[in-house]
Structure 1
Amino acid sequence: MAEPGTRDRILDATAELYRHQGMAATGLKQISAAARAPFGSIYHHFPGGKEAITAEVIRCEGVRYGAFVGAQLAGTDPATGIPQLFENAGALMASQDYREACSIETIALEVASTNEALRQESAAVFESWLAGLAAWFGQLDITEEQCRQLAVITLTALEGAFVLCRTLRSVEPIVIAGRGVQAAVSAIIADGAATG
């Protein structure tokens, strides 16, 4: 396989640094060193500097992480499979010694009130993930509104659990969150059956 080009190395290094330490703690010199790229190449590929790199990282990581989660969802029954998905995510975090986190979540927390352009980029990624989750829940005999509700519940529980797991150095939050989401799924299915 060909060695990634300088632009790709800059994006990959930035995404990894953001996952580990967040955006604010990451400087352009650190990105340059981690990417094994001359400092000037950052502005060559990203004339807008750190904001331009960050916007592209958000888009790329959104696609990458969305595809990863989509692969986990494929072949999983949304009526019963939520706890296992959450447990798998917890096991992956534990195997990485809780160092890795969702880079979109990390960036969104930092920019939601301070940088409107990056907030919008983050929001677009979250909306794409919510649409994917809602489509997955669409396999159930429930309304589009209920699919959206379950998508929001799932993403909120997952992202919140990531923060607690990393902080507590424990998979307990994500396991419990998965059970909570499963309870919400079961309740909506039961409600549909009762009113149907």
Structure 2
Amino acid sequence: MTEKMSTSTRDRLVTAMAELMRTHGYSGTSVKQVTVAAGAPMGSLYHHFPAGKPQIAAAALRTSGAAYIQLLPMLMDPYDDLRAAVPAAFAAAAEQIEQADWINMCPVGTVAGEIADSEPALREVAAEVIGDWIEQGTDYFVRRGVDPTAARDLILAILSALEGAFVLSRTLRTAEPLRSAGRAMGARIMELLAETRDGARARLNAT
């Protein structure tokens, strides 16, 4: 029973930290806010995270990152054609941020930009999370028929477009940047799939 309660407390603390960083950033979040949001005593935070705020922030980034990358297959698998799947994923993000009154969608991107120069250890954690996104995204698009090199290029473009569009949408208070980015990525998909088919034909003709 004690072990289950302890695990639950740790999970609540990590979730609270992730949500607070999403809305307030790393610098704007205090350990006191985390314990209040988690409904946990201050001592429990330092029990689970002896190094304090940087340690719980690292755990929150890793947990959030692992959850966010699962949205890729969840949003795109229903579509047989990637040319429809990618714009649909951006459209879903546009709808979500609009309905959520323009709150930040991703704590990883927010914190990565904020602490890139001020918190080297935490920047490395964010880089680890984003590196995992790139690896898993590349594997996903390869399974969907994209050439491996092109698949890596595609996931990098999608992540860059998505994070940039989040910033523009929140600032301008319109989902137009996300929808526009989705259409641009859909066009890029068409180019990459054509290149993949052309490469396959060339290899076939060469044999």
Question: Is 2:152 aligned against 1:148?
Answer: yes
Displacement of 1:114: 2.0
The structure with more helix, counted as a fraction of residues: 2
In structure 1, what residue type is equivalent to 2:136?
G
Q: Decide whether the 8 Å contact of 1:73 with 1:136 is kept in 2.
A: no
Greater Cα shift, 6-15 or 68-77: 68-77
Which of these residues, 7, 25, 28, is aligned with residue 25 of structure 1?
28
The superposition leaves residues 94-124 of structure 1 with CA deviations (integer Å, 9 ceiling, x where unpaired) of: 1111113201001111121222221111111
SS in 2 for 1:37: coil
Unaligned runs of 5+ in 2: 202-207
The superposition leaves residues 121-154 of structure 1 with CA deviations (integer Å, 9 ceiling, x where unpaired) of: 1111111111222122214544211110011011
1:159-174 mapped onto 2 (5 Å cutoff): 159-174=163-178
- Relative distance call for 1:11 and 1:141 in structure 2 (3 A) is closer
Which of these residues, 44, 51, 54, is aligned with residue 51 of structure 1?
54
Q: Distance in 2 between matches of 1:55 and 1:186?
A: 37
| 1:8 counterpart residue number | 11
| 2:106 counterpart residue number | 102
Q: Decide whether the 8 Å contact of 1:15 with 1:57 is kept in 2.
A: yes
Q: Percent identity?
A: 36
The superposition leaves residues 1-47 of structure 1 with CA deviations (integer Å, 9 ceiling, x where unpaired) of: x9872211111111111111111101111111111111122111100
Q: Distance in 1 between matches of 2:197 and 2:76?
A: 24
- Relative distance call for 1:61 and 1:19 in structure 2 (3 A) is same
- Relative distance call for 1:142 and 1:8 in structure 2 (3 A) is closer
Displacement of 1:91: 0.2
In structure 2, what residue type is equivalent to 1:69?
L
SS in 2 for 1:158: helix
Unaligned runs of 5+ in 1: none
| 1:111 counterpart residue number | 115
- Relative distance call for 1:194 and 1:5 in structure 2 (3 A) is closer
Q: Which has the larger radius of gyration?
A: 2
Which of these residues, 53, 62, 65, is aligned with residue 65 of structure 2?
62
Displacement of 1:190: 2.6
Greater Cα shift, 79-88 or 68-77: 68-77
Which 4+ stretches in 1 moved above 4 angstroms? Answer: none
In structure 1, what residue type is equivalent to 2:186?
Q
Question: Is 2:80 aligned against 1:72?
Answer: no
Q: Distance in 2 between matches of 1:17 and 1:192?
A: 42
Displacement of 1:186: 1.2
- Relative distance call for 1:101 and 1:141 in structure 2 (3 A) is closer
The superposition leaves residues 71-97 of structure 1 with CA deviations (integer Å, 9 ceiling, x where unpaired) of: 112233323321111001110111111
Greater Cα shift, 63-72 or 8-17: 63-72
In structure 1, what residue type is equivalent to 2:12?
R
Q: Distance in 2 between matches of 1:71 and 1:192?
A: 24
Which of these residues, 158, 169, 182, is aligned with residue 162 of structure 2?
158
Q: TM-score if structure 2 supplies the norm length?
A: 0.87
| 2:91 counterpart residue number | 87
